[in-house]
Amino acid sequence: MPSLRGFVLSAVRLIPEVEPPKKRVVLRSKFFWTALVLLAYFILAEIPIYGASERAKDYFASFRFILAGNAGSLIDLGIGPIVTAGIVMEILVGGKLIKLDLSDPEDRKVFQASQKLLGIIVILVEATVYVLSGRFGRIGAQISRAMAAAIILQLFIGSFLLMMLDELCSRWGIGSGISLFILASVAQEVVWKSFSPLKVRYPELGEVVVGAFPALILEGPAAVSRSYAPNVVGFIATLIAFAMVIVAFNVYINVPLAYTRYGGYRGKYPIKLLYVSNIPIIFGAAFFAELSLVSRILWEKFGYSSSKLASTVVRVFGVYNYTRYGDIVPVSGLAYYLTPPRGLSSVFMYPVKTLIYTLLLIIVCIAFSVMWVYTAGMDADSVATQLVKSGLQIPGSRASPRIIAQRLRRYINAVTILGGLFIALLSAFADMLGALGTGSGILLAVSILYSFYEILMRERLEEMYPVVRRIFGR
């Protein structure tokens, strides 16, 4: 293990990194760096991949907005490789396959270095598999080997720049870059589907207005619940999901605390229903997207194989078919059940698929919620230790981490599971109603907005009252 630690720390030194600030970054500077990161993200999203055909198949079409990537651009892979590396590290540490104590600064440094190194490996592997699978055309027939290598290099550079922008935002900006990219992607999609006056042509329907509200003006009542394009019901579902997330963020229980070094000053430690915020749905959506990518690649390569083993594996992971519009959609297997429903008509047509998708989403969200609590140091024991180190205790009890942990465990264990369950159900419910930007996307966007608001309020409070920062050791 010591040799592995040394290898990881030595290898990560060879990778460019964003220098951490030597002193506290003021709020105005954080706004500047966040805006700069967002601008760079939009620029990367508009740079096309040289040598890629405009008709290239989009393997991440169903998860495009959550992965914050733009098909055919340098950031085609989006945040997928970064989040995948995070998922793998969470599983390895949470499952005790790698023994790291994340409350120890040295172990946390090794964890972060390992995650960054693994992220680069995942980017390279995913970009290579992406191209070799025929995403941009068959190698040797539609694109040359040299062009395939050039596309892999472009995908690697785009994803690596996205990783660096995430690091820049996390150290110098507001919140994390991943959250910022997801918010920008989902917001762009919702605004486009709500108000775009442009038209697209369907083979059987002719030209159709994209935006729900322009369509309401031009098409009348048909635009309220049309199934072939964004509709008004989807916009209303978006608002309902928005309101429900805001309400959920304000559901919490206060644990009373007393500060021993300030004359017994009393405060509260709020434990929210959404204790782990949007982490489960980010990891869950990325996990579904990666499984869908694997199933799509297997079908592309072995979908028509005469081998019984290959055909069995393909049937398990997913069989695809072409629609009359030329799109490729899963029709059976795991990929079929990982595809969220798109509106009420889809729910009524495929009730079993909707039920299985919801159950899978619930299981995945709860599992990632539990893992995140323990690996992020949010479990009862870790929180109790932090509170005691800060000079806090529960009134009427000794300042013992064990006693405080017993009290916190009652609430933290419950909200960890209930929070994951609520997020999964709300996401599935918004998908069933046809929310613009998908249910997962809306949930992520709203929770990210709310977390940004909380960060801004805390930063503002600490600038106005520096004693607050000293009390919490910030």
CA-based torsion, 190, 194, 199, 205: positive or negative: positive
Q: Which residues of 4-24 are buried (b: 16+ CB within 10 A; e: fewer)?
A: ebeebeeebeeeeeeeeeeee
Regarding whether 270 and 152 lie in a shared domain, the answer is no
The β-bridge partners of 254 are 270
The β-bridge partners of 206 are 202
Q: Rounded distance, CA 250 to CA 313, Å?
A: 45
DSSP 8-state assignment for residue 340? P
Regarding whether 142 and 11 lie in a shared domain, the answer is yes
Q: Rounded distance, CA 145 to CA 156, Å?
A: 17
Q: Which residues of 231-244 are buried (b: 16+ CB within 10 A; e: fewer)?
A: bbbbbbbbebbbeb
**What pLDDT is attached to residue 123?**
92
- Tell me if 40 is assigned to some domain: yes
Regarding whether 49 and 152 lie in a shared domain, the answer is yes
Q: Rounded distance, CA 141 to CA 134, Å?
A: 10
Regarding whether 88 and 17 lie in a shared domain, the answer is yes
Given the structure tokens 């090794």, which residue do they identify? 110
Residue 461 exposed, middle or buried by CB count within 10 Å (0-12, 13-18, 19+): exposed
Regarding whether 168 and 32 lie in a shared domain, the answer is yes
Rg of the chain over all Cα atoms, to the nearest angstrom? 24
Strand order in the sheet with 265-272: 265-272, 252-259, 392-393
Hey, is 209 helix, strand or coil? strand
Q: Domain boundary at 173, 191, 218, which?
A: 173
Given the structure tokens 């919620």, which residue do they identify? 369
Domain extent at residue 326: 234-474
The β-bridge partners of 139 are 143
Q: Domain boundary at 155, 173, 191, which?
A: 173
**What pLDDT is attached to residue 326?**
60
- Tell me if 425 is assigned to some domain: yes
- Contact in structure between 282 and 178 (CB atoms under 8 Å): yes
**What pLDDT is attached to residue 163?**
92
DSSP 8-state assignment for residue 137? -
Regarding whether 259 and 129 lie in a shared domain, the answer is no
- Tell me if 169 is assigned to some domain: yes
Regarding whether 254 and 169 lie in a shared domain, the answer is no
- Tell me if 408 is assigned to some domain: yes
- Tell me if 467 is assigned to some domain: yes
Q: Domain boundary at 120, 155, 173, which?
A: 173
With a CB cutoff of 8 Å and minimum separation 6, the contacts of 384 are 401, 402, 404, 405, 408
Residues counted in the chain: 474
Return the H-helix or E-strand segment holding 355. Answer: helix 351-375
CA-based torsion, 417, 418, 424, 425: positive or negative: positive
**What pLDDT is attached to residue 203?**
65
Q: Which of 80, 87, 83 is nearest to 60 (CA)?
A: 80
**What pLDDT is attached to residue 310?**
84
Regarding whether 346 and 259 lie in a shared domain, the answer is yes
CATH number of the CATH domain containing 86:
1.10.3370.10
Question: Among the residues of 205-259, which ranges form H helices?
Answer: 212-219, 232-249
3-state SS of 248-309 is HHCCEEEEEEEECCCCCEEEEEEEECCCCCCHHHHHHHHHHHHHHHHHHHHHHHHCCCCCHH
Hey, is 140 helix, strand or coil? coil
- Both tokens of 86, joined, read 């995070």
The domain tally of the chain equals 2
**What pLDDT is attached to residue 221?**
82
Regarding whether 153 and 299 lie in a shared domain, the answer is no
Regarding whether 91 and 15 lie in a shared domain, the answer is yes
- The span from the first CA to the last CA of the chain, in angstroms, equals 32
- Tell me if 199 is assigned to some domain: no
Regarding whether 384 and 307 lie in a shared domain, the answer is yes
- Contact in structure between 442 and 242 (CB atoms under 8 Å): yes
Given the structure tokens 């405080």, which residue do they identify? 404
DSSP 8-state assignment for residue 221? G
- Tell me if 43 is assigned to some domain: yes
Regarding whether 339 and 441 lie in a shared domain, the answer is yes
Beta strands in 87-173 (DSSP E): none
**What pLDDT is attached to residue 366?**
93
- Tell me if 374 is assigned to some domain: yes
Count CB neighbours of 283 within 10 A: 24
Hey, is 322 helix, strand or coil? strand
Q: Rounded distance, CA 127 to CA 81, Å?
A: 9
Give mean pLDDT in consecutive 10-residue pieces for the chain, a chain of 474 residues: 73 85 85 93 91 69 75 87 84 75 76 88 90 78 86 93 92 87 87 85 74 84 78 85 84 79 68 84 82 84 81 87 72 88 84 92 92 81 80 73 83 90 88 81 83 80 61 49
Q: Hey, what's the torsion of the CAs at 436, 437, 440, 446, to 10 degrees?
A: -80
pTM of the model: 0.79
